[in-house]
Structure 1
Amino acid sequence: MSELSSPASERTGLRVAFDGGVYPAEEIARGAAYEVFSADEVTGFEWAPRPGSALPWRRFVHVTEVTAVHGASQPAEEPDTPLMMPAHREHGWAHLHQLSQQPSAAGDPLLVAARASAVVRRGTRMVKVLSARQLAGYVRGWLPHGFCYREHDVAHLRTPSATTVLRTDGEVGRDGSDVAYALRWRAADPGDYDVPVGEAHRGLTALASRDRLGPPVLGTGFVPSNGQLIPEFITRDFADLPMPANASLIAYPAQGVEVVLYTYQAEQRGWLRMVGPQWRHLLAAVPGLSPDQEYVPTGDAPRSTQLVGVHGDTEYEAVADLPGGFRVLAMTRAARYPVDAVARRLRFARWRGAPCLVLREEAGWLRLRLRFPDPDAVVATGAQCHDRGVYETWAPGAEVTDDQVMDARYAM
């Protein structure tokens, strides 16, 4: 049997108890999910034979579906807190899922308590599922923004069909792709993220289907889904976040494997290709990108935000290099000093009564993004939806008020 082609479970002895049976398994995302295998057909498993393996049936399961794990190694880092619900004599997870899909239940105490258990901490791995077009945008300089998820909550969604529930682009079913893409990065600060619930985000739930991309926003803090209970997050104010060092662009082909396509090189401001010849065809559907290009610089792509840090008495551009911390962004290794204080710098403004972010400025016009989209603001500004919850427009600079640069400081 080939060690490269056989499941890791057949080499390490990892087994999990799931749905009344015990199966060989392979760990995913440090135990957030498992790929479980069977020699025989089992309800819910799919036929996915691998060369040299005697276990042709497999299924991806989240850790919350597993009742016991045998033979797991000690985790190398502190795991993210799982989604939890208060103990209840009558109601279980099925009831919680039912509540999560009802906008009218957004204030239910059981739902509120469960949603509050899913938190982002410094270093949490975040994920945004992308179309091929969006992947091209990130390679060329886009920054993390909009709806996103903790990797811990979505690690079991490993195939193009499974990840459609997380898409935000409105191209599902039209791009005909047999591969899913994703951006993965580590959260620099919990304050960079928000949960789309409550009065501040009520406008998202009121937007008509003609004015939005992707699935509707329920206002419960969970993804609209018939079968999944997934907490969703947004970047605060729908702002761009500075790209951390070693962020990854990933592909998930139909085989269910994870293929790292590129990693972000902060000092060089570009993406280094990591994928070998075996998987390079996964880039064929990405517009304007050559699979043979080893390094793709983001160049002078306009950035609406940056991380700034203080070392000594001097302010520098900084970079999040987690889990290590924050440091000066410098080409030479000797100058990459750890910073004493750090903040995310961004620019706010108001136009036609709508609070906005300023993304960039061109010839006296400002590119704006709505911080709290609602039907009235969309109509007043003529903003167009570019991604689920992300609305942008152009405004004459002379008409914009309350234009100011702000620093969102991080706790050190």
Structure 2
Amino acid sequence: MQATPTAPTGTTEIVWHERRYRARAIAGGAAFELYADSREDGFHPTGSSFHRFVHASEVTSPGGELLLAGVAPVSIPVMPGADPATVHRYSQNPRIGPAERALVSAVRATAFITVGTRMVKPLSRHQVARQLTSAPVVSGVCFREFDVAHLRTPEDRVVLAADPDDARDTSFALRWKAICACDYQSTEASHFPGLVGVPGRERRGSMVLGTGFLPSGTHLIPEFVTAGIADLPLTARAEILAYTADGNEVALFQYQPQTNVWDRMAGARHRDLVNRIPGLETGRALFRTNPSVHAGLMGEHEGARVPVTADPGHGFSVYARGATSRSPVTRPQRFYTRARWRDIEVLALGRNEDWVRLRLSQPDIEAIMTTDATCVERGVYECWAPLAELENPHVVLVDYPNGNHPASC
């Protein structure tokens, strides 16, 4: 049914499930908010009408919003037996056969990441607090914003949660832009075979299926994980978002690398959302990150190797307080430290005197038991170890593309 005249301005007419609705494009055209003048299945009250959110790939629109979104949707090959319902059923089964897995892998391979692709990671309230007061990095399971743009309410976004939260009236997320496709891997078993077999008692959140898709009874959502489960540097103007029960997206904080701060963007009207984050001082507007804790991004500037920050679409700049330098940065590289401990491949993340914090780069039940690692969020396992026991610690460099300089990855 069509919405009443009280529906928000900027609406268009679309067709969904063979019915016409008034709708508003959101997330750059990746999803639509539909309006109806009476309650229908899946619609919820909003003012004097009813609304729900659907992905742009599910509707027919004369406006071409899906093309304007600039991100390719997951595509299913044209072949007998390959329909959305079949692919979804296979994507939810970690024990499918070789033929079925080949089909799922072919579909999963159509989910591309390019420079500037907007990525999101769900956060619990406690993870938001840690993000504001720790190094400006991101790691673990994440998604293209395009694929989850229709999940706008906390109830819908529970399926994405990597660190389950007991609060269901508000959900939070981190959003940033991808620097390079090489920073991300799918969660297919070929990349992380051990995660599929981790028992429920050693997990947080839902299991990793090994098909490259999120466990969901209704959605076909491709999953990504930061390459090797390593930390990635956050890009300029990364945001911490809140989603309310009525489907509103509110930008709470924005990362400003030139001043090493998270700047509060939400005004007094959204003070209640900020107050839901534990441990924050009431009314605090700036959260300074420690400039001595660098995010692992370097480049050449005026003949010297210096810390730099990334702003996909606008290049790299010197990581320094104040105005961005006009001089170009060349040979940008991400770096991190790998090592072995108790014959297990690990990432070295930080030191505390004679101890070092480690993360399993290939988690499986044997590695978890050997290192006594704890699941800190979905798919991420960490522990502490004596620094003297680390074997073969070495720095790994990842070259990024920059202008005419191609990436080695």
Q: What is the TM-score of this pair, normalised by structure 1?
A: 0.91
What's 2:407 paired with?
none
Q: One-letter code of the match for 1:230?
A: I
Partners of 2:259 and 2:320 within 8 A in 1: no
1:104-119 correspondence runs (5 A): 104-105=95-96, 107=98, 108-119=101-112
Unaligned runs of 5+ in 1: 1-5, 50-54
Q: Distance in 1 between matches of 2:10 and 2:164?
A: 41
Q: Distance in 2 between matches of 1:73 and 1:98?
A: 25
Q: Distance in 1 between matches of 2:150 and 2:362?
A: 31
Alignment pair present for 1:372 and 2:362: yes
Alignment pair present for 1:310 and 2:300: yes
* Cα gap change, 1:362 to 1:266, in 2 (>3 Å): same
1:55-94 correspondence runs (5 A): 56-70=49-63, 75=68, 79-94=70-85
Q: Distance in 1 between matches of 2:240 and 2:246?
A: 18
1:43-54 correspondence runs (5 A): 43-49=41-47
Partners of 1:247 and 1:263 within 8 A in 2: yes
Alignment pair present for 1:140 and 2:138: no
Partners of 2:30 and 2:66 within 8 A in 1: no
Q: Distance in 2 between matches of 1:344 and 1:7?
A: 52
1:172-321 correspondence runs (5 A): 175-299=166-290, 302=293, 305-321=295-311
Alignment pair present for 1:152 and 2:146: yes
Q: Distance in 2 between matches of 1:129 and 1:370?
A: 21
Partners of 1:17 and 1:23 within 8 A in 2: yes
What's 1:27 paired with?
25
Q: CA deviation at 1:65?
A: 0.7
Q: Distance in 1 between matches of 2:163 and 2:5?
A: 34
Q: One-letter code of the match for 1:63?
A: A
Q: CA deviation at 1:191?
A: 0.8
Q: CA deviation at 1:386?
A: 0.3
3-state DSSP class of the match of 2:9? helix
Q: Distance in 1 between matches of 2:95 and 2:376?
A: 27
Q: Deviations over 1:234-288 (max 9, x none)?
A: 0011111111110000000101011000000101111100001111101222111
Unaligned runs of 5+ in 2: 403-409
Q: One-letter code of the match for 1:167?
A: A
Q: What is the TM-score of this pair, normalised by structure 2?
A: 0.92
Q: One-letter code of the match for 1:310?
A: E
Partners of 1:330 and 1:336 within 8 A in 2: no
Q: One-letter code of the match for 2:363?
A: P
Q: Deviations over 1:94-133 (max 9, x none)?
A: 1111000000227522211110000111100000111111
State the identity %: 38
What's 1:410 paired with?
400
Q: Distance in 2 between matches of 1:293 and 1:301?
A: 22
* Cα gap change, 1:40 to 1:9, in 2 (>3 Å): closer
Q: Distance in 1 between matches of 2:6 and 2:251?
A: 19
3-state DSSP class of the match of 1:24? strand
Alignment pair present for 1:391 and 2:381: yes
3-state DSSP class of the match of 1:215? coil
Q: Distance in 1 between matches of 2:358 and 2:66?
A: 48
Partners of 1:17 and 1:69 within 8 A in 2: no
Q: Distance in 1 between matches of 2:257 and 2:245?
A: 31
* Cα gap change, 1:301 to 1:26, in 2 (>3 Å): farther
Q: Distance in 1 between matches of 2:292 and 2:151?
A: 32
3-state DSSP class of the match of 1:225? coil
Q: CA deviation at 1:407?
A: 1.2
For these two proteins, the number of residue pairs brought into alignment is 396
